[in-house]
Structure formats: C-alpha cells, structure tokens
Amino acid sequence: MTWIAALGEPLIELNALTRGPLRYVQYFEKHVAGSEANFCIAAVMFGARCSLVARVGDDEFGRNVVEYLRGRGVDVSHIKFDNAPTGVFFVQRHYPVPGRSVMFYYRRGSAGSRLSPVDVDEALIKAVDAVHSTGITLAISDSAREAVHKAFEIAKRTTFDTNIRPALWRNLEEARVAVLDVLRRGVEVLITDPDDTEVVLGVREPEEAYRRYRELGVEVLLYKMGARGAYVFRGDEKYFKPAYSVPVEDPTGAGDAMAGVFTAMYLSGAELEKALAYAVASSALVVTVRGDNEAIPDVKDAEALLRAL
C-alpha cells in the first residue's frame, strides 16, 4: 500500500444552503474541509494510506475535524490539538459568477496556522513513500512554510499543488517567490493550473508550462484546466482528458480530489492516462454536491461514471 504524508490545515467549512451573496443567506451547512484533508480522503478512497500532519483547535470544531477524518480512513495520529481556534471558512455559491464559488476565510491566528517544523516527525517522513503539501500551507504562516521545507528536505518523493489563494497572501509576488522556492527544492509531481502558472512563470499554455516546470526539476505535471478538463505530462508523454458535463452545485474541492486520486494512482504504479481518467471523473462527482469531499468516489464508483459518460 502506498503511504503518503500531507501537511496542511484542516478547516470547518460553512457552505451556504442558498445561492447568492452571503449577506442574504440565512442558513449554512457544516462540512470538514481543507485542501490537504480533501487530498488525503481522495487518496484513501483509491487505496493509499494517508497521514495528515496538522494542528486543530482544542475545541468542538477541532474534535469534529479529527473524528470525521478518522471516520474517512485518514491517519489522524499526527494531528495535534492547540489552544488556538480551529479555522473556519464560508462558501458563497453561484455569485457573482454562476457555477463558481467564492470563499471567505476566518483563519488568521488559527491552530492550523501554528503548524511548525516541530510538528514534522522525521521518522514518519522517512517512512512514507511521498510527502504532499500545497501553496495554501506556504501562505498561512512562516512556521507552516518552514514545516513544508523541512518535510520536503527529508522526503523520498514529493508532490505539490500550487493552490495559490490570493486572499491568503500579502501580494502575488510573495506567492510566486514561495512556490518557486519549493519547486527548486525538488518536486516530482506538480499539480497546478493556468492561473497559478501565470503567477509563478508568466505563462499559461500547457506545453510551455511543462517545459518551464521541467527545467525546475518537475517530472510529472498534472495541469488542471477547470471546465475543459486536465492534461498530464511526463517526459515525452502527454495526455488530455476532457471534463464531464455535470450539474454544478459547488466546485470547491474538485481540484483536491483530482490531485489526491491522481497522486495515489501514480505512486502505486498506474499508467498516467488511466490515473488522469479516474482523477477527472472523481473531480466531476465532487462538484455535484455541497461539501469538498463527500462525493469523492472509490474506484468502483469512478468506474461506473467512466462507463456511463
């Protein structure tokens, strides 16, 4: 079984039950979310073991996070309880752009932002097959960024999702420098998209993006194209899988599902084209419901979608 460790902040998501601006929303639905938490759930659904290295508040939301992730099969033994609060974010759906969601974060000073190098168990990092993190973890605090650096320096293999959230950075130049710093430390699998790549490299076109990332040492590039689908590149190999036309309830978490499924399959030795197909199918199911990870399929359900569409 492939074993992955992921570093990041699990959060409580409050998703609007109705569409439109939050100022008029009266009811919210609670979910457990966070990019690396979603990634771990997706990886577990596709046969991997995933250990989440994180901090949550010693509060009801923190206990909710730990119990939920344990119930989804994620290894929570490396999540610490902290006296700072568990981070929260709100999701505004289908406004101002129909089919898209906007996130409002309340996580400054959260327990998750207090992740630091002391939380990185060297024995764990040396034992796992790969370590994963994202640009979100780089953004939430200097200590969290240092934790990622420490883990990546020890890890056998690394995977990274740029996941640039402008609201979490002072400016995009800071984001660019931080992401490039991680890439230069060595990343085997990079998950990104045209918007993030424009920030990091100043380009958007998939082939040019891979050429430039490859110069930085990236071996495999999963290039998410949103409603168009996704590419994967490795050496001279290139595959594209178009997105499925499905009803969109909330797109939040789709990219994390794609990353987790693809990474779990890739690390287990699956062919790139097959891993891409299952990853795109999984991300399609995620957007059909509220919540970031509830509709991540297992292999059997992903195959059912692939046969049906």
Beta strands in the chain (DSSP E): 3-7, 11-16, 28-33, 49-57, 79-82, 88-93, 101-106, 130-134, 158-161, 189-192, 220-224, 229-234, 237-242
Q: Stretch 247-258: mean pLDDT, rounded?
A: 96
pLDDT of 309 above 90:
no
- State percent of the chain over pLDDT 90: 99
pLDDT of 221 above 90:
yes
Give tens-digit pLDDT for 65-79: 999 999 999 999 999
256 is catalytic: yes
pTM: 0.97
> Of 256, 292, 298, 301, which one is the catalytic site residue?
256
Whole-number Å distance between alpha carbons of 13 and 80: 20
Q: Give strand pairing partners of 4.
A: 50, 130
Q: Stretch 7-17: mean pLDDT, rounded?
A: 98
**Predicted local confidence at residue 97, as pLDDT:** 96
Measured in whole angstroms, how far is the alpha carbon of residue 270 from the centre of its chain? 20
Q: Stretch 178-199: mean pLDDT, rounded?
A: 97
**Predicted local confidence at residue 255, as pLDDT:** 97
pLDDT grade for 104, boundaries at 50, 70 and 90: very high
pLDDT grade for 187, boundaries at 50, 70 and 90: very high
Return the percent helix, strand and coil in the chain, to nearest 5. 45, 25, 35
